Amino acid sequence: MIRVTVDAVIIGAGPNGLVAATALARAGWSVEVLERRDVAGGAIGSVRTPKGYVHDWGSAFYGVLHTSPVLRELGLDRRVPWAHTSSPVGATYRPGEPGVVMRRTATETAQELGEDAAAWLDTVAWWERLGVPLFAAMMGPIGAPLPLAKVLARATPRELVATARTLLEPVEDWTRQRYRTEAARMLFAANATHADIGVDVAGSTPAAMLLAMAAQQHGMPVPVGGADVLAQAMVEAAEEAGVVVRTGVDVTEVVVRGNRAVGVRTADGGGVGARRAVVADVAPTILARDLVGEQHLPGPWLGQLRRHRYTSGYFRLDLDLDKPAPWTDERLRDAMVVHVTGDLDELALSQAQVRRNRLPDQPQLILGQQDRADPTRVPAGAASLWVECHCPADPPVTDWTERFADLITERLEAHAPGLTASIVERTVTSPNDLQRLDPNLVGGDVGGGSATVDQMVVFRPVAGWSSYALPVAGLYMCGAASHPGGGVHGLCGRNAAKTVLRTSRFRRAT
């Protein structure tokens, strides 16, 4: 039974769903967001343990969000209290030897890099002149003329060709050409571990560039109190715009009549009608199979969707400590993010093992030390480590999770001797645990699908079709599987809302 009819129904209260809902409501639409979980935010969330430690169970760092127009459009720069450290990012690649850290200013970072100081400053200068408008064009609506015009106005034809090569180049090759020292190479290249593209694979430089330069410009800010504070702020922005956000409501079907989405049905027997649009912040395979029904979708579209590849899962550890981690390189003790990677060869081999559905012998680790900036997250004098790495969701071994957690802990111990003795409690979250928390994290993939070049821009998630409009009138997707892909930046939702509004105006005009 239809409970109410609104202009737009949003399925899923992840960050992109909330951004899309806010944009539509600000355009004068009536909007409801329906979320199956009891809390909004998607993979932005946190919990406090009985012992007083805050665990960000999904996303944790928001440097890229601070490059996005969504930050200010939703007022997240003022709604959220942000915390920083003096070192946004660090890397350690040989046990017992010094690592490397990024400082809050490019000049300070250059001083850390010695003979690569000038090369780092040159990278930052390129980013500020060409990188910022280029990535704005790449991550905005496909084919938008204004961002592209800004890039063309600042670059010569030769620079454009060289930039195109950089975008396609493996990051290990780019860094070896750019930097002389292993420290500079690893400080930059280790950022590629946040995506699923191997450092030896074409197209791995852009992800590393975006993360490294976002951190250099904006730091790696975290919300004071935990990631849940950011989720609540996004809900607040939506509700101020007039959006109704309902949690604990499980959408079971998109209602299609005459090849048009006209609303949704829910598990409690109710439903919501949609006059103009149904927008889904849902994994596309779940949307097509479980909510729309493949009988409503054309064969060629489904054929392309079946080629959409989800990436490897994420394995997560929360290590609650009775004191800060005893890093061999003391400069790492203040780093918000620490990459534990080995050198470029080891990094490439580990990534290749994961791509072959094998547990890596040397897992490539992304660590968060959020409490270094936000001591409210831990008991007085204590500390914690947020640990993440890529691994297969279902490797061909049994009873592997605790053994793999032991391997990760041993790897950390080699770079921070005495760490194991400081552990108060260890919480293990496997890729399938992540999927149980949120079914849209298919196999523990938090990025909505692989970020390889054949799954980006016009190929994402269905080659030859709009990133947001489905082949059912009035039905759109806005999750991480759509352009420009994973990460907490809100641009999938922002771009999708623009498409919805443009399509609606065109339809009404005709």
Residue 494 has pLDDT above 90, yes or no: yes
Q: Which long-range contacts (CB under 8 A, 24 or more apart) does 188-193 make?
A: 188/123, 188/212, 189/344, 189/347, 190/91, 190/93, 190/339, 190/341, 190/347, 191/89, 191/215, 191/339, 192/347, 193/339, 193/341, 193/347, 193/351, 193/364, 193/366, 193/389, 193/390
Residue 506 has pLDDT above 60, yes or no: no
- Distance in angstroms (rounded) separating the CA atoms of residues 375 and 53: 10
Per-residue pLDDT reduced to its tens digit, 276-316: 999 999 999 999 999 999 999 999 999 999 999 998 999 99
Residue 510 has pLDDT above 70, yes or no: no
pTM: 0.95
Nearest CA to 317 out of 418, 419, 232 is that of: 419
Average pLDDT over residues 470-486: 95
HSE-up of 431 (CA within 13 Å, CB side)?
23
Average pLDDT over residues 422-431: 97
Name the pLDDT band for 148 (thresholds 50, 70, 90). low
Average pLDDT over residues 141-153: 70
- 3-state DSSP call for residue 472? coil
Q: 501 vs 112, 273, 379, CA distance in Å?
A: 48, 18, 48
Is the peptide bond prior to 484 cis by the omega test (within 30 degrees of 0)?
yes
The structure tokens listed for 496 are: 């999708």
- 3-state DSSP call for residue 207? helix
Direct distance between the N- and C-terminal alpha carbons of the chain, in angstroms, rounded to an integer: 31
* Residue 312 contacts residue 445 (beta carbons within 8 Å): yes
HSE-up of 79 (CA within 13 Å, CB side)?
19
Percent of the chain with pLDDT over 90: 87
Position 464 scores a pLDDT of: 82
Which secondary structure element, helix H or strand E, spans residue 358, and what is its range?
Answer: none
Per-residue pLDDT reduced to its tens digit, 228-255: 999 999 999 999 999 999 999 999 999 9
Using CB atoms within 10 Å of the CB of residue 165, give its burial: 0 to 12 exposed, 13 to 18 middle, 19+ buried: exposed
Average pLDDT over residues 5-17: 98
- Which structural domains are found in the chain, ordered by start? 2-44+225-308+441-509 (3.50.50.60), 86-219+313-392+394-429 (3.90.660)
The structure tokens listed for 383 are: 């500390």
- Distance in angstroms (rounded) separating the CA atoms of residues 60 and 371: 12
Position 153 scores a pLDDT of: 74
The structure tokens listed for 443 are: 């196999």
155 or 501: whose pLDDT is higher?
501
Position 467 scores a pLDDT of: 83
Name the pLDDT band for 473 (thresholds 50, 70, 90). very high
319 or 134: whose pLDDT is higher?
319
- Distance in angstroms (rounded) separating the CA atoms of residues 188 and 415: 19
| Other beta carbons less than 10 A from residue 202's beta carbon | 16
Per-residue pLDDT reduced to its tens digit, 165-224: 998 999 999 999 999 999 999 999 999 999 999 999 999 999 999 999 999 999 999 999
Average pLDDT of the chain to the nearest whole number: 94
Nearest CA to 104 out of 230, 220, 10, 15 is that of: 220
Residue 272 has pLDDT above 50, yes or no: yes
DSSP string, 90-123: EEE-STTS--EE--SSHHHHHHHSGGGHHHHHHH
The structure tokens listed for 50 are: 């009985």
Report the DSSP beta bridge partners of residue 244.
32
Average pLDDT over residues 464-476: 92
DSSP string, 28-93: T--EEEEESSSSSSTT--EEE-TTS-EEE-S----TTGGGSTHHHHTTHHHHS-EE--SEEEEEE-
**Angle formed at CA 65 by CA 352 and CA 112, multiple of 5 degrees:** 70
Average pLDDT over residues 473-495: 96
* Residue 221 contacts residue 62 (beta carbons within 8 Å): yes
Position 364 scores a pLDDT of: 95
Position 156 scores a pLDDT of: 83
Position 146 scores a pLDDT of: 62
Average pLDDT over residues 72-78: 98
Q: 67 vs 49, 145, 169, 204, 253, CA distance in Å?
A: 32, 20, 23, 20, 36
Position 509 scores a pLDDT of: 39
Average pLDDT over residues 392-399: 93
Position 169 scores a pLDDT of: 94
Nearest CA to 384 out of 52, 106, 126 is that of: 52
Q: Look at the block and give the residue holding tokens 């004191």.
A: 323
- Distance in angstroms (rounded) separating the CA atoms of residues 68 and 362: 34
Amino acid at the residue 124: V
- 3-state DSSP call for residue 271? strand
Q: What is the 3-state secondary structure (H, E, C) of 233-266?
A: HHHHHHHHCCCEEEECCCEEEEEEECCEEEEEEE
Average pLDDT over residues 84-106: 96
Position 145 scores a pLDDT of: 63
Residue 466 has pLDDT above 90, yes or no: no
Per-residue pLDDT reduced to its tens digit, 325-357: 999 999 999 999 999 999 999 999 999 999 999
Position 350 scores a pLDDT of: 95
Name the DSSP class of 454: G
Q: Look at the block and give the residue holding tokens 């440097």.
A: 63
Position 162 scores a pLDDT of: 87
- Distance in angstroms (rounded) separating the CA atoms of residues 199 and 208: 9
Report the DSSP beta bridge partners of residue 146.
none
Position 3 scores a pLDDT of: 78
Residue 147 has pLDDT above 70, yes or no: no
DSSP string, 301-343: HHHHHTTPPP--EEEEEEEEESS----SSGGGGGEEEEEE---
